[in-house]
A and B are shown apart, each in its own frame.
Chain A
Amino acid sequence: MVAASQHPNITLMTYSEVEEVKGYVGNFNVKIRQKAKSVDHELCTGCGVCWEKCPNMVINEYDQGLSARKSIYIRFPQAVPSKPVIDRQHCRWFNRDGRCGVCSEVCQAKAIDYLQQDQVVDEEFGAIIVATGFDLFGNENSFAEYGYGTLPDVISGLHFERLSSASGPTGGKIIRPSDGKEPKSVVFIQCAGSRDDAKGKSYCSRVCCMYTAKHAHQVLEKIDDAQAYVFYMDIRTPGKAYEEFYRRSVNDGAVYLRGRVSRIFSKNNSMIVRGEDTLISKQVEIEADLVVLATAMVPGFDANIVAGLVGIGSDKDGFFEEAHPKLRPVETHTAGVYLAGTCQGPRDIPDSVAQAGSAAVKVCGLFSADERELDPITALVDEAICSGCGICLSLCPYKAIDFISVSASMAGVSFQREVAAVNEALCQGCGTCVAACRSGSINLKGFTNEQLLAEVEAVCQ
């Protein structure tokens, strides 16, 4: 990220949102809202005095609520740029009519700007790579049987990740949320949501087997006499050295139980995890101090908005759809729009990086030529026949049709009239306009009305 931010050809627009995407491959026009940071990043040196002095404490979302942050803050230590923003919702200056201003006072660089406004910028782009990431599945109600949300010591994998992180709120010490004690018995439940039609997620989230193996290993490594139990359905380790890593966890003492957990309930100050070990076909109950759910990966909460903005299709689970699952895995159906990472489907970091590289190279390939070859199957308007009713404009899913003015003459009188014109760069050749055109003035190259009628005739023989 740091490297990216320092690259001369990369402009990083943080704290920004895309509001509108117009245009087409090579000529995208994107409206971007740069949200008011309340800190002038040109002036800010990132010295950190402001957030040290800020009197207001807010729950730290990044640490899954395990710690607190200030109203002026950097979201996470590695964030780029390493410069703070003011969380206006929680800032005293904003909530108490300017009665605070501590950060402004302490800032040597005079970078605090409470009056900063959102900036909306229009930028031209040649291609778009969508990498909007994922969210984790589940809220308090999603795993009632596991007590998630009611039992404080049932946590998600991400939560555990913060606990075990050396730069995390506990400095890497694994403690359980309820009492801060070190858990001695930790149960991991894989496929929490994933591969579970009952939860509406039929797919495999792909990363859980590996991070659970890592977490289990960390438990064994960091806590003396600790026991790690893993309930799993199948272990999937398709990656270089993945299987070996999983083996290591097992060899180092992680107990893998093949089966599903049916219930978790508290009993005498600890939790009982009841499940089935299908290998021995017996019900098992494990007393656990901490339970970690490997919850399913789901598309970002605003993925559908992004899809609508950019014009990408989504699959039944809400992940963005690629142009072809095998042959065009990083392209979308919209020319010039590419996908990278988990917005397309669950994947781990190496795969995401690989895909991002692939998308970047696709863009380089796109940009390497001055002219672009398009699929020849596009719609074409016969201007002489088009009556300009505009029905095709309202129907085109790619907004590839517009009115143009052409000169015409009737009974010797010349005048201008509006007819439809297809932007071949945008047209994806679906032919919806052709079917809707009453006068038959639009035809689809390669699938003309005549050709299809002839085909109908031929197959009816």
Chain B
Amino acid sequence: MSVEMNAVRAAESWEPKIIAFCCNWCAYAGADLAGLNRIQYAPSVRIIRVPCSGRVNPQFILKAFQKGADAVMVAG
């Protein structure tokens, strides 16, 4: 682990950037429900709604990493 990374981590402000591709019918609705039920979850996730998890193109995942995502999740 580099010094720099440690420094970043030490800075409490760092929140990971998680890109979640959520199926409109499943996980997106699940996320909706989580919101409805006031269930707390990490604020670092950024949700992209897709019509189906099958819609997720490998290119999107690579692009997300390229553009600075710290993690990518596909939820269906």
A and B touch in the complex (CB under 8 A): yes
Contact of A430 among B48, B52, B63, B64 (CB under 8 A): B52
Decide yes or no whether A377 CB sits under 8 A from chain B. Answer: yes
Closest chain-B Cβ to A365's Cβ sits at a distance in Å of 23
**Residues of A with C-beta under 8 A to B59:** 449, 453
**Given A456-B60, A456-B64, A431 contacting B52 (CB threshold 8 A):** yes
Are B54 and A432 neighbours in the complex by a CB distance under 8 Å?
yes
Contact with A457, one of B51, B57, B58, B63 (Cβ below 8 angstroms) = B63
Asked whether any CB of chain B lies closer than 8 Å to the CB of A444, the reply is yes
**Residue ID in chain B nearest A457 by CB atoms:** B67
Bound complex: CA A431 to CA B50 (Å): 8
Interface positions, chain A 419-461, Cβ under 8 Å from B, are 429-432, 434-435, 444, 446-447, 449, 452-453, 455-457, 459-460
Indicate if the CB atoms of B19 and A434 lie closer than 8 Å: no
A432 and B57 alpha carbons, distance in the complex (Å): 9
- Answer whether residue B9 sits at the interface, using C-beta atoms and an 8 A cutoff: no
Decide if B51 touches A429 in the complex (CB within 8 Å). yes
A431-B48 contact given A453-B60, A456-B64, CB 8 Å threshold: no
Contacts of A432 in B (CB 8 A): 52, 54-55
Pick from A432, A435, A446 the residue with the most CB of B within 10 Å. A435
Contact A460 B67 (CB under 8 A): yes
On chain B, the residues within 8 Å of A459 by CB distance are: 19, 46, 48
Complex contacts, A434 vs chain B, CB 8 Å: 55, 57
- Inter-subunit contact A449/B19 (CB<8 Å): no
| Cβ contacts under 8 Å, A456 to chain B | 19, 48, 60, 63-64, 67
- Taking the nearest CB of chain B, how far is it from the CB of A376, in angstroms? 12
Quick one: which of A377, A430, A452, A460 contacts B17, CB cutoff 8 A? A460
Number of interface residues of A (CB under 8 A): 18
- B35 on the A face (CB < 8 A): no
Q: Is the CB of A435 within 8 A of B57?
A: yes
Flag B11-23 by CB within 8 Å of A: 1 or 0 each: 0000001010000
Q: Distance in Å from the Cβ of B57 to the closest Cβ of chain A? A: 4
Q: Which of A187-210 contact B (CB under 8 A)?
A: none
Residues of A within 8 A of B54 (CB): 430-432, 435
| CB interface residues, A 46-74, toward B, < 8 Å | none
- In the bound assembly, the distance between CA atoms of A457 and B55 in angstroms comes to 17
- Residues in B with CB closer than 8 Å to A444 are 51, 55
Closest chain B residue, CB of each to CB of A323? B25
| Bound-state Cα–Cα, A31 to B45, Å | 49
Task: Using CB atoms, name the residue of chain A closest to B66.
Answer: A460
Return chain A residues, CB-CB under 8 Å to B60: 452-453, 456
Does A453 lie within 8 Å of B63, measured CB to CB?
Answer: yes
Report whether A447 and B51 are in contact in the complex, using a CB–CB cutoff of 8 Å. yes
Query: Bound complex: CA of A115 vs CA of B21, how far in Å?
Result: 60
Report the nearest A residue to B29, measured CB to CB.
A324
A331 to B68: give the CA distance in the assembly, Å.
Answer: 41
Which residue in chain B gives the minimum CB-CB distance to A333? Answer: B25
> Cβ of B31 < 8 Å from any Cβ of A?
no
Is B56 on the interface with A (CB-CB < 8 A)?
yes
Distance, CA A449 to CA B51, complexed state (A): 12
B69 within 8 A of A: yes
Contacts of A430 in B (CB 8 A): 51-52, 54-55
In contact, B64 and A460 (Cβ under 8 angstroms): yes
Q: Give the distance to chain B from A75, nearest Cβ to Cβ, in Å.
A: 40
Closest A-chain residue to B17, C-beta based? A460
Report how far A447 CA is from B54 CA in the complex, Å: 12
Would you call B63 and A447 a contact (CB within 8 A)? no
Q: Which residues of A contact B58 (CB under 8 A)?
A: 435
User: Which residues of A are found within 8 Å of B57, using beta-carbon distances?
Assistant: 434-435, 449, 452
Residues of B near A449 (CB, < 8 A) are: 57, 59
Q: What is the distance, in angstroms, from A324's C-beta to the closest C-beta of chain B?
A: 9
Complex contact B68–A455 (CB within 8 A)? no
B56 nearest in chain A by CB position: A435
The docked-state distance in angstroms from the alpha carbon of A16 to that of B59 is: 49
Residue in B48, B51, B67 whose CB lies within 8 Å of A377:
B51
17 chain-A/chain-B pairs, Cβ below 8 angstroms: A430-B51, A430-B52, A431-B50, A431-B55, A435-B57, A444-B55, A447-B50, A447-B55, A449-B57, A452-B50, A452-B55, A452-B60, A456-B67, A457-B67, A459-B19, A460-B46, A460-B68
Among all A-B residue pairs, the 3 with the closest Cβ atoms: A431-B55, A432-B54, A430-B52
Known: A377-B51, A444-B55. 7 other contacts (CB 8 A): A431-B54, A435-B57, A452-B57, A453-B59, A453-B60, A453-B63, A456-B63
